[in-house]
Structure 1
Amino acid sequence: MCMVIFAPIFAICAFATCGGYHGNLQVKVDCAARRQNNISINVDFGYPFRLQQVHFKAPLCEAKREEVVFLDGDFSSAAQFFVTVGVFSFLYSLLATIVYIFYQNKYLKNNRGPLVDFVVTGIFSLMWLVSSCCWAKSLTDIKTATNPTEVLLLISACRAQENRCAAVQEPLWSRLNTSAAFGFVNVILWSGNIWFAFKETGWYKTGQRYPTRSASGKRSREMRERLYSESSFDQQDDDLGLFRQDSFTQSKGDSIKHVQRQASINQSQVSFSLPDTYLGKTVVYERENSIASQAPMIFINEM
Structure 2
Amino acid sequence: MDVVNQLVAQGQFRVLKVPLGFIKVLQWFFAIFAFSTCGSYSGMFRMSVECKNRTYSDLKIEVEFEYPFRLHQEYFRAPTCVDGDKETVFLVGDYSSSAEFFVTIGVLAFLYSAAALGIYVLFFDKYKENNKGPLVDLGVTAVFAFMWLVSSAAWAKGLSDVKTATDPVQVVTLIRACSEKVADRCREVHDPVMSGLNTSVAFGFINVVLWVGNLWFVFKETGIIAPFMRAPPPQEKPASDAYGQQGTYEPDPYASNQGGYQPDYTQQGYNQDTDYGQGYSQQGAPTSFSNQM
What is the alpha-carbon distance in structure 1 between the residues aligned to residue 60 and residue 180 of structure 2?
A: 17
**What is residue 110 of structure 1 aligned with on the other side?**
130
Return the match for 2:84 from 64, 68, 71. 64
Aligned 8 A contact 2:41 2:196 in 1: yes
- Aligned to 2:93, the other structure's residue is in SS state coil
- Aligned to 2:82, the other structure's residue is in SS state coil
What is the identity, as a one-letter code, of the residue corresponding to 1:202?
A: G
**What is residue 87 of structure 1 aligned with on the other side?**
107
**Aligned-residue offset at 1:203:** 1.5
What is the alpha-carbon distance in structure 2 between the residues aligned to residue 169 and residue 204 of structure 1?
A: 58
**What is residue 208 of structure 2 aligned with on the other side?**
187
- Aligned to 2:28, the other structure's residue is in SS state helix
Per mean C-alpha deviation after superposition, the further-off stretch among 151-160 and 79-88 is: 151-160
What is the identity, as a one-letter code, of the residue corresponding to 2:35?
A: F
What is the identity, as a one-letter code, of the residue corresponding to 2:191?
A: E
Unmatched runs of 5 consecutive residues or more in structure 2:
1-20, 234-293
2:185 maps to 1:167:
no
Return the match for 2:228 from 201, 207, 230. 207
Return the match for 2:66 from 46, 49, 59. 46
**Aligned-residue offset at 1:3:** 1.4
2:16 maps to 1:15:
no
What is the identity, as a one-letter code, of the residue corresponding to 1:138?
A: G
What is the alpha-carbon distance in structure 2 between the residues aligned to residue 138 and residue 38 of structure 1?
A: 31
**What TM-score comes out, normalization by structure 1 length?**
0.67
- Aligned to 2:181, the other structure's residue is in SS state coil
**What is residue 218 of structure 2 aligned with on the other side?**
197
Equivalenced residues, count: 213
**What TM-score comes out, normalization by structure 2 length?**
0.70
Return the match for 1:146 from 162, 166, 177. 166
Q: Equivalent residues in 2 for 1:179-258 (5 A)?
A: 179-208=200-229
Structure 1 residues 160 and 149: CA distance shift in structure 2, 3 A? same
Aligned 8 A contact 2:56 2:79 in 1: no
**Aligned-residue offset at 1:4:** 2.5
- Aligned to 1:200, the other structure's residue is in SS state helix
- Please state which structure has a larger fraction of its residues in helix: 1
**Aligned-residue offset at 1:56:** 0.8
CA RMSD, Structure 1 to Structure 2 (Å): 1.7
What is the alpha-carbon distance in structure 2 between the residues aligned to residue 29 and residue 113 of structure 1?
A: 63
Per mean C-alpha deviation after superposition, the further-off stretch among 159-168 and 56-65 is: 159-168
- Aligned to 1:49, the other structure's residue is in SS state coil
**Aligned-residue offset at 1:40:** 1.6
2:178 maps to 1:158:
yes
**What is residue 150 of structure 2 aligned with on the other side?**
130
Unmatched runs of 5 consecutive residues or more in structure 1:
221-303
What is the alpha-carbon distance in structure 1 between the residues aligned to residue 226 and residue 116 of structure 2?
A: 22
- Aligned to 2:139, the other structure's residue is in SS state helix
**Aligned-residue offset at 1:105:** 1.3
What is the identity, as a one-letter code, of the residue corresponding to 1:208?
A: M
Return the match for 1:29 from 49, 57, 63. 49
What is the alpha-carbon distance in structure 2 between the residues aligned to residue 125 and residue 94 of structure 1?
A: 16
Per mean C-alpha deviation after superposition, the further-off stretch among 73-82 and 35-44 is: 35-44
- Aligned to 1:132, the other structure's residue is in SS state helix
